[in-house]
């Protein structure tokens, strides 16, 4: 039996692609898990498109033992080419599947608004699993029709890999078999560094509804603490943040780093914060990946009372705060000597997940 994984990676072979840090993080971990835990043939295809809008390229492939790595062709990107590139990519994947997969082979695909038609085709034709990180229409403003189509696509699969217990239990989703997967459980090695006293880190997107503004505003009432910001987003959004907070003495904007480099950097800080608004539409349908990133580096984590965090197995390793500045200040100041053994717990999840993933695919 062959397993085909269709995911999104910033770099799979030698070709760099446009891909969010969160998607690259989870897809890279699933890829590694498949390669380690499954002794049959594994094919990994990168669906991410090129960084440049008018970037066209044929597919490229590499093979190592039982593992084949393929970058899908690039058909351009951006608004002008989005429909064309999605259409051509969908046709290429369907042709690849027809030529290379047999009836008993399995497919695992990462859910995206760009692949809804492809997802429904795969669910209809093949024994397959859908990896669902979030219901995107809960986060991105879309028409009712698009929202309906997204849910129909998710429900066309009988097997799912969900990002949280809250998402798995969402009344809109009907799943016969599923496994919960909160993010990459691969642990970085502990470097020989001392943590900076009274240091706080925010690592994540610069989008307005994801907490970076809250984190920066919080520093007004924590003048003797320093916030280090590792974020990613549009150039205009970065300029907006730098204009508003760049001159603050206790806020440091750091360079955007690859996941593995960021994990090493995080060991020098004390606190990681995830100040998401619990009243947001995605409160129950996505798990903040930054929390797992913080925990893997042994930080004390302060989070809003987000449903997906409360329902997660990490809740006992996270300091909960109300969504206001005074509550966050109190949570940080009163937990200066708190120690959580989160890394050992994550290692146990790593061992468990590999078996659960293969069992789910084989069903």
Q: Identify whether residues 144 and 11 lie together within a single domain.
A: yes
What pLDDT shows up at residue 211? 92
Q: Which domain holds residue 37?
A: 3-157
Last residue within a domain, chosen from 157, 186, 213? 157
What pLDDT shows up at residue 5? 98
Tokens 């259409």 correspond to what residue? 87
Whether this prediction's pTM lies above 0.85 is answered by yes
d(CA 282, CA 164): 12
d(CA 13, CA 72): 11
Q: How many CB atoms lie within 10 A of CB 2?
A: 17
What pLDDT shows up at residue 79? 63
Q: Identify whether residues 42 and 149 lie together within a single domain.
A: yes
What pLDDT shows up at residue 243? 93
Is 354 part of any domain? no
Q: Identify whether residues 13 and 150 lie together within a single domain.
A: yes
Tokens 């109190």 correspond to what residue? 330
Is 189 part of any domain? no
d(CA 12, CA 71): 7
What pLDDT shows up at residue 53? 64
CATH of the domain at 42: 3.40.50.2000
Q: Identify whether residues 219 and 312 lie together within a single domain.
A: yes
What pLDDT shows up at residue 154? 96
d(CA 319, CA 295): 12
- Digit-by-digit pLDDT tens for the chain (363 residues) are 999 999 999 888 878 888 888 888 899 999 999 999 999 999 999 998 876 666 677 888 999 999 999 998 887 666 666 787 888 899 999 999 999 999 899 999 999 998 999 999 999 999 999 999 988 888 777 888 989 999 999 999 999 999 988 889 999 999 999 999 999 999 988 888 889 999 999 998 888 888 999 999 999 999 999 999 998 888 889 999 999 999 999 999 998 777 778 888 999 999 999 999 988 766 667 888 899 999 999 999 999 999 889 999 999 999 999 999 999 999 999 987 666 678 999 999 998 999 999 999 998
Residues in the chain: 363
Q: Identify whether residues 7 and 152 lie together within a single domain.
A: yes
Q: Identify whether residues 16 and 115 lie together within a single domain.
A: yes
Q: Identify whether residues 9 and 150 lie together within a single domain.
A: yes
Domain count, the chain: 2
What pLDDT shows up at residue 362? 92
What pLDDT shows up at residue 138? 83
């Amino acid at each position: 039996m062959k397993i085909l994984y269709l995911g999104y990676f910033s770099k799979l072979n030698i070709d760099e692609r446009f891909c969010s840090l969160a998607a690259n993080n989870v897809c890279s971990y699933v890829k590694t898990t498949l390669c380690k835990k499954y002794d049959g043939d594994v094919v990994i295809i990168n669906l991410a498109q090129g960084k440049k809008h008018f970037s066209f390229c044929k597919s490229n492939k590499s093979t190592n033992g039982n593992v084949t790595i393929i970058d899908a062709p690039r058909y351009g990107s951006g608004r002008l080419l989005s429909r064309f590139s999605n259409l051509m990519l969908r046709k290429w994947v369907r042709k690849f599947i027809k030529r290379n997969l047999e009836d008993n082979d399995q497919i695992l695909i990462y859910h995206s608004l760009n692949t809804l038609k492809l997802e429904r085709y795969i669910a209809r034709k093949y024994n397959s699993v859908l990896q669902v990180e979030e219901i995107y229409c809960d986060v991105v403003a879309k028409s009712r029709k698009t929202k309906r189509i997204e849910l129909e696509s998710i429900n066309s699969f009988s097997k799912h890999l969900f990002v949280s217990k809250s998402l798995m239990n969402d009344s809109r989703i009907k799943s016969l078999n599923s496994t919960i997967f909160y993010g990459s459980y691969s642990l970085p090695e502990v470097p020989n560094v001392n943590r900076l006293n009274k240091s706080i880190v925010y690592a994540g997107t610069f989008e307005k509804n994801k907490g970076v503004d809250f984190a920066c505003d919080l520093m007004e009432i924590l003048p003797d603490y320093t916030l280090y910001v590792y974020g990613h987003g549009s150039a205009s959004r970065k300029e907006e943040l730098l204009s508003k907070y760049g001159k603050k003495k206790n806020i440091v904007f750091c360079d955007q780093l690859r996941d593995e480099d960021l994990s090493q950097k995080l060991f020098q800080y004390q606190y990681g914060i995830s100040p998401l608004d619990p009243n947001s539409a995605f409160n129950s349908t996505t798990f903040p990946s930054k929390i797992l990133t913080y925990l893997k580096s042994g930080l004390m984590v302060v989070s809003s009372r987000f449903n997906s965090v409360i329902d997660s197995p990490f809740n006992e390793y996270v300091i909960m705060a109300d969504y206001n500045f005074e509550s966050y200040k109190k949570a940080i100041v009163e937990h200066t000597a708190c120690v959580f053994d989160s890394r050992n717990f994550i290692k146990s999840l790593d061992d468990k997940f590999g078996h659960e993933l293969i069992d789910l695919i084989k069903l």
